[in-house]
Amino acid sequence: MTPPLQFVAHPGAGRGAFARVWPAMATALAAADLEHEVLLTTRPNEAADLAREAARSGARLVVAVGGDGTLHEVVNGLLTADLPAEARPALGLVPAGRGSDYARGLQLPREAPAIVARLAACL
């Protein structure tokens, strides 16, 4: 069974920022007792494929972990999942890129506990 919370991460985003942000995220997720799965990309455009599959398998929230490029791919995957709009999962973002313009523009939190609290509120 697919956990309701799926993370799609590009480990190379932001010169390896995933490795720097994920330990704190993992700790915050464990503290919040949120069932989740982490899907790591291994090739270009794979984030879209992983997000599409997460949507099709019933995830309620798909979270891009990376920069603006990873977010773009995850959005494209969700929008091409061949599901009615009401059946598509919500989208989240853990900023882990060089610029993270979307996260900055939306004033998203950057601290793991605050990010996890927001994600939990979406489930």
**Residues that are catalytic:** 68
One-letter identity of residue 104:
R
- Tokens linked to 94: 């853990």
Residues near 36 by beta carbon (within 8 Å), at least 6 away in sequence: 3, 5, 6, 7, 29
| Residue 22 to residues 19, 81, 101, 111, Cα–Cα distance (Å) | 6, 27, 19, 11
- Tokens linked to 15: 């010169």
Question: Cα(41)–Cα(12) distance, rounded to whole angstroms?
Answer: 9
